[in-house]
């Protein structure tokens, strides 16, 4: 899970938006400018409302320490919420975290379970090798 990868995904999302479309796009613009705290502030209500992509981005920013003053455990919470909403990348990230003991306690069983979920959520048109 790298902040650069997150930014690349956000750049693509911004480029695909031809017109102003709301708080999500505003958040992506702020993050693109390096205003992570403002992006987090805009995304958190969307995450609370159940938007899986917002949950994933909020969780990733917190895990990557891009948002000062927010405990990384809160990032784990948001990634777990995204997984509940069938977000493949969140499941992959949690798998890696549990298998490495990064931010969470090492737990091979949970790591394997999250990887299985990531595989289950993988879109049919996305080859397995793309699911890092």
- Evaluate whether residue 58 is within a structural domain: yes
Chain segment 29-79, per-residue pLDDT in tens:
999 999 999 999 999 999 999 999 999 999 999 999 999 999 999 999 999
pLDDT above 60 for 19:
no
Given pLDDT bands bounded at 50, 70 and 90, which one contains residue 11? low
As separate numbers, helices (DSSP H) first and strands (DSSP E) second, the chain gives 7, 0
Chain segment 21-43, per-residue pLDDT in tens:
699 999 999 999 999 999 999 99
Count of domains in the chain? Answer: 1
Residues 6+ apart with CB under 8 A from 104: 76, 94, 97, 98, 110
- Evaluate whether residue 59 is within a structural domain: yes
- Evaluate whether residue 128 is within a structural domain: no
> Which CATH number do you get for residue 112?
1.25.40.10
Chain segment 93-106, per-residue pLDDT in tens:
999 999 999 999 99
0.95 exceeded by pTM:
no
């Amino acid at each position: 899970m790298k902040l650069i990868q997150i930014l690349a995904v956000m750049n693509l999302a911004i480029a695909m938006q031809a017109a102003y479309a709301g708080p999500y796009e505003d958040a992506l613009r702020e993050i693109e400018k390096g205003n992570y705290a403002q992006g987090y502030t805009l995304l958190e209500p969307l995450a609370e409302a159940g938007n899986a992509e917002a949950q994933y981005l909020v969780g990733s920013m917190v895990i990557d320490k891009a948002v000062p003053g927010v405990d990384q455990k809160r990032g784990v919470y948001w990634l777990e919420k995204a997984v509940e909403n069938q977000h493949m990348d969140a499941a992959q990230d949690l798998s890696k975290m549990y298998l490495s003991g990064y931010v969470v306690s090492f737990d091979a069983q949970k790591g394997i379970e999250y990887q299985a979920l990531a595989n289950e959520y993988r879109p049919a048109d996305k080859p397995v090798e793309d699911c890092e």
